[in-house]
């Protein structure tokens, strides 16, 4: 996806604007407190208002500027695949265990980014997972999950 | 006891086999991290943070600090050999360092970069040794109102000094402060912005936030340019610089060190800003300014000294004030807090072993890094021969393990991915991440100081200008705003003149 600088600034300032409004509404539901004892809603309200204000100014500035005509490339296929793989990894890590999930993740990443044959990607995935488990799990003692699926 | 006596005590703590080993491991890991583009010192420190849970506080801070300044050393290697900065503060080194390498002088460029880093690092440790205890004594007398004023000043300095777009920086600061409000309100226990998820009750963890915004976004950006790059590999014989190189660069090293020491105290991107300031100064005073950008050794010596000089003094605000000026120092602070030690003016008094042990370890670490970076450059360069398509999955694996290892919570991995996507989009449109991280780290403390001050003053805002310290901070604040206004007006007038002419 290609987007101009100006359009990107407009979209981001729009997003920040919406966030500011959301924060103000949520903060209003919290106790505001008094001047002598500010409550939990005090600072979020101020920040929400400031965020809204700054994003409006940013948006107006983007609207009025001619902006950089060069287009900014946003995202590409391999990025989406890798990010999806990380989300799936997070979901499966404690269920399937570190070794199988990390093997699969490295396999998918290599398959997406490189030109290695599938069995080479799988082999490197296994090696990477084993080395990582050995160093971080056994040597450094980081508790890497075994996987709840394998408990009988 | 004098500072020198304290320092000797610090050496007695560090000169044990185990402490030396941790110092060496930290420096080695930091150098490797600095060489590999995409991780940065923050990512490298986060990866080993879980390991530090098993160590005593002194050993863990020694190792993490080693990674921090090791990465500063290592970042220059890729700048010179690949024209890719291994770390953000090494961007300027690319300008002349890579040109020197292309002209067949990679060796002198690398040696001078390492020597400059050594000089800058050593001088900044001396500054840390003398400034920090004195500042701690002063800060013991300040209260919550002064603390709040100081933090506001820090955020405004970030907004107006060295920021290419003030409005975008302010937006990021506000976003960071909002992120800091997530979780349980420290005074009332009210849950804020947790959306019913109890995992957010203690707030958003620093590690997934920082790794996502910096590390994941960097890798996503690098995906767009995955290609094999020519690696210049100098032999050991060609590493040695000429006597003229050393003569031309020693002045730059001292000037760069001075700039770095001063900038190290400032919050924000001080390590990056100091390198640009140093480069600009060297070019300004050079007899051959037209040769800058074509391989001038002063263009490498000055910025590298400035870069490493900020590491020492950047620890002063973190250790003594509890205000981390850099994202990496924020992680150091997290490590201390995890061990039950709160950085602040009491640190030097209550935990002198940690403070002086850290300083002593930095002296030793500087020597270790000089030894590592010179003869072992060939080995480090081999990491760069690995195509990024294979390196990226490894780096991502390390990041996932590092983030998961802190709380053993898979939700942190999802948070890291989310912040990675946010960081990627914001960075593509030139929103800076450093102010966001700084604000996210300071947010809690700022709110507590503000609310405490108002409680003490029974709601009166005059408390923020009553004491001498507050008056000084407020005057500095107003001065920055006035100077920024003047600079904007001068820029506006120049633009009008250009358009009219």
Q: pLDDT tens for residues B411-436?
A: 999 999 999 999 999 988 888 887 88
Residues in chain A: 152
Mean pLDDT of B284-302: 86
Q: Are the C-beta atoms of residues B72 and B89 closer than 8 Å to each other? A: yes
Place A33 in a pLDDT band, splitting at 50, 70 and 90: confident
Q: Do A8 and B428 touch (CB under 8 A)?
A: yes
Q: Give burial (CB, 10 Å; 0-12/13-18/19+) of B141.
A: exposed
The tokens for B250 are 């020693």
Bridge partners of B184, per DSSP, are: B191
Of the candidates B61, B75, B60, the residue with the CA atom closest to the CA atom of residue B30:
B75
Q: Which residues of B touch A97 (CB under 8 A)?
A: none
B411 C-beta neighbours (distance < 10 Å), count:
15
B386 vs B369, more confident: B369
pLDDT tens digits, residue range B316-366? 888 887 878 777 788 888 888 877 888 877 787 788 888 888 888 888 888
Q: Do B414 and A110 touch (CB under 8 A)?
A: no
Place B149 in a pLDDT band, splitting at 50, 70 and 90: confident
A104 vs B392, more confident: A104
Q: Do A87 and B387 touch (CB under 8 A)?
A: no
Mean pLDDT of A100-115: 92
How confident is the prediction for chain A on average, in pLDDT?
88
Chain A nearest-CA residue for B220? A79
User: B 445-474 residues with CB below 8 A of A?
Assistant: 447, 450-451, 454-455, 458-459
Highest mean pLDDT among A121-130, B128-137, B352-361: A121-130
DSSP state of B240: P
Q: Which residues of A touch B192 (CB under 8 A)?
A: 30, 40, 44
pLDDT tens digits, residue range B453-489? 888 888 888 888 777 777 777 777 777 677 767 766 6
Mean pLDDT of B131-139: 70
Place A44 in a pLDDT band, splitting at 50, 70 and 90: very high
For residues B251 and A47, give the distance between their C-alpha atoms in angstroms, rounded to a whole number: 47
pLDDT > 90? residue A60? yes
Chain B nearest-CA residue for A141? B51
For residues B78 and B373, give the distance between their C-alpha atoms in angstroms, rounded to a whole number: 12
Chain B nearest-CA residue for A95? B410
Q: What is the pLDDT of residue B246?
A: 84
Mean pLDDT of A95-122: 91
A139 vs B226, more confident: A139
A-to-B residue pairs, Cβ atoms closer than 8 angstroms: 152
Q: Do A87 and B224 touch (CB under 8 A)?
A: no
Q: Give burial (CB, 10 Å; 0-12/13-18/19+) of A53.
A: middle
Mean pLDDT of A113-140: 89
Give me the percent of chain A exceeding a pLDDT of 70: 96
Q: Give burial (CB, 10 Å; 0-12/13-18/19+) of B294.
A: middle
Q: What is the pLDDT of residue B493?
A: 60
User: A 22-41 residues with CB below 8 A of B?
Assistant: 23, 26, 30-31, 34-40
For residues B244 and B156, give the distance between their C-alpha atoms in angstroms, rounded to a whole number: 43
Facing A114 at nearest CB: one of B177, B390, B401: B390
Q: Are the C-beta atoms of residues B44 and B83 closer than 8 Å to each other? A: no
Q: What is the pLDDT of residue B353?
A: 81
Q: Do B413 and A93 touch (CB under 8 A)?
A: yes
- A90 — contact with chain B (CB < 8 Å)? yes
For residues B287 and B304, give the distance between their C-alpha atoms in angstroms, rounded to a whole number: 20
Q: Do B454 and A37 touch (CB under 8 A)?
A: yes
The tokens for B217 are 């976004």
For residues B345 and B141, give the distance between their C-alpha atoms in angstroms, rounded to a whole number: 9
For residues B327 and B419, give the distance between their C-alpha atoms in angstroms, rounded to a whole number: 15
pLDDT > 50? residue A125? yes
Chain B nearest-CA residue for A50? B174
Mean pLDDT of B162-188: 87
Place B437 in a pLDDT band, splitting at 50, 70 and 90: confident
Of the candidates B21, B5, B325, B271, the residue with the CA atom closest to the CA atom of residue B121:
B271
For residues B33 and B403, give the distance between their C-alpha atoms in angstroms, rounded to a whole number: 16
B383 C-beta neighbours (distance < 10 Å), count:
15
Mean pLDDT of B154-174: 77
pLDDT > 90? residue B255? yes
Which range has the worst mean pLDDT, A108-117, B25-34, B229-238, B369-378?
A: B229-238
Mind giving me the DSSP string for B323-387? --SSHHHHHHHHHHHHTT---STHHHHH-HHHHHHHHHHHHHHHHHHHHHHTTTHHHHHHHHHS-
Q: What is the pLDDT of residue B501?
A: 45
pLDDT tens digits, residue range B188-204? 888 999 988 888 888 88
Q: Which residues of A touch B404 (CB under 8 A)?
A: 93, 142, 144
Q: What is the pLDDT of residue A102?
A: 94
For residues B60 and B82, give the distance between their C-alpha atoms in angstroms, rounded to a whole number: 33
Which range has the worst mean pLDDT, B52-56, B63-67, B170-174, B238-242?
A: B238-242
B70 vs B51, more confident: B70
Q: What is the pLDDT of residue B267?
A: 62
pLDDT > 90? residue A93? yes
Q: What is the pLDDT of residue B106?
A: 81
B80 vs B138, more confident: B80
Q: Are the C-beta atoms of residues B338 and B153 closer than 8 Å to each other? A: no
Which range has the worst mean pLDDT, A33-47, A110-124, B98-112, B158-172?
A: B158-172
The model carries a pTM of: 0.78
Q: What is the pLDDT of residue B232?
A: 58
């Amino acid at each position: 996806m290609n987007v101009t600088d100006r359009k990107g600034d407009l979209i981001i300032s729009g997003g920040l604007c919406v966030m500011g409004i959301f924060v103000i509404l949520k903060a209003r539901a919290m106790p505001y407190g008094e001047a002598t004892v500010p409550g939990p809603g005090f600072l979020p309200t101020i920040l929400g208002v400031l965020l809204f204000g700054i994003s409006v100014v940013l948006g107006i500035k983007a609207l009025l500027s001619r902006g950089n005509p060069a287009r900014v490339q946003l995202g590409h296929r391999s990025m989406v695949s890798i990010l999806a793989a990380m989300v799936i990894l997070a979901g499966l890590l404690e269920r399937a265990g570190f070794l199988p999930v990390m093997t699969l993740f490295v396999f998918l990443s290599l398959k997406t980014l490189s030109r290695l044959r599938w069995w080479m990607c799988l082999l490197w995935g296994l090696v990477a997972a084993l080395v990582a488990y050995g160093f971080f799990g056994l040597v450094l003692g980081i508790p890497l999950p075994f996987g709840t699926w394998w408990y009988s | 006891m004098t500072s020198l006596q304290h320092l000797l005590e610090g050496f007695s703590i560090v000169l044990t086999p185990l402490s030396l080993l941790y110092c060496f491991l930290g420096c080695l890991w930091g150098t490797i991290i600095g060489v590999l583009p995409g991780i940065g010192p923050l990512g490298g420190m986060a990866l080993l943070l879980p390991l530090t849970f098993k160590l005593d506080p002194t050993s863990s801070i020694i190792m993490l600090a080693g990674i921090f300044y090791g990465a500063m050393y290592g970042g220059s290697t890729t700048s010179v050999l690949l024209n890719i900065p291994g770390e953000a503060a090494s961007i300027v080194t690319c300008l002349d360092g890579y040109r020197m390498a292309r002209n067949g002088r990679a060796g002198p460029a690398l040696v001078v970069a390492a020597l400059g880093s050594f000089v800058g690092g050593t001088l900044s440790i001396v500054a840390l040794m003398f400034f920090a205890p004195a500042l701690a004594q002063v800060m013991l007398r300040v209260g919550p109102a002064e603390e709040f004023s100081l933090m506001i000043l820090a955020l405004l300095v970030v907004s107006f000094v060295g920021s290419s777009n003030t409005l975008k920086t302010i937006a990021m600061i506000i976003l960071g402060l909002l992120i800091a409000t997530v979780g349980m309100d420290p005074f009332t226990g009210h849950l804020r912005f947790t959306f019913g998820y109890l995992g957010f009750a203690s707030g958003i963890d620093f590690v997934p936030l920082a790794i996502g915004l910096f590390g994941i976004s960097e890798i996503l950006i690098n995906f767009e340019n995955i290609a094999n790059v020519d690696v210049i590999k100098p032999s050991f014989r060609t590493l040695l610089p000429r006597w003229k190189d050393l003569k031309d660069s020693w002045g730059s090293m001292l000037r760069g060190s001075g700039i770095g020491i001063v900038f190290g105290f400032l919050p924000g991107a001080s390590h990056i800003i100091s390198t640009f300031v140093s480069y600009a100064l060297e070019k300004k005073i050079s007899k051959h300014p037209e040769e800058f950008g074509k391989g001038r050794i002063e263009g490498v010596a000055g910025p590298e000294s400035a870069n490493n000089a900020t590491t020492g003094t950047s620890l002063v605000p973190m250790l003594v004030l509890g205000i981390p000026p850099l994202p990496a120092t924020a992680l150091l602070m997290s490590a201390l807090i995890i061990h039950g030690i709160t950085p602040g003016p009491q640190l030097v008094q209550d935990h002198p072993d940690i403070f002086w042990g850290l300083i002593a370890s930095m002296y030793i670490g500087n020597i270790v890094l000089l030894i590592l970076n010179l003869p072992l450059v060939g080995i480090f360069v081999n990491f760069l021969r690995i195509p990024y398509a294979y390196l990226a999955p490894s780096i991502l694996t390390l990041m996932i393990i590092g983030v998961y290892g802190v709380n053993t919570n898979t939700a942190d991995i999802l948070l890291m991915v989310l912040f990675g996507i946010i960081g990627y989009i914001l960075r593509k449109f030139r929103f800076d991440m450093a102010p966001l991280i700084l604000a996210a780290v300071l947010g809690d403390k700022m709110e507590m100081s503000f609310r405490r001050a108002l409680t003490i003053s029974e709601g009166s805002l005059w408390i923020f200008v009553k004491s001498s310290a507050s008056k000084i901070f407020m005057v500095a604040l107003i001065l920055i705003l006035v100077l920024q206004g003047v600079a904007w007006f001068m820029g506006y007038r120049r633009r009008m003149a250009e358009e009219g002419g």
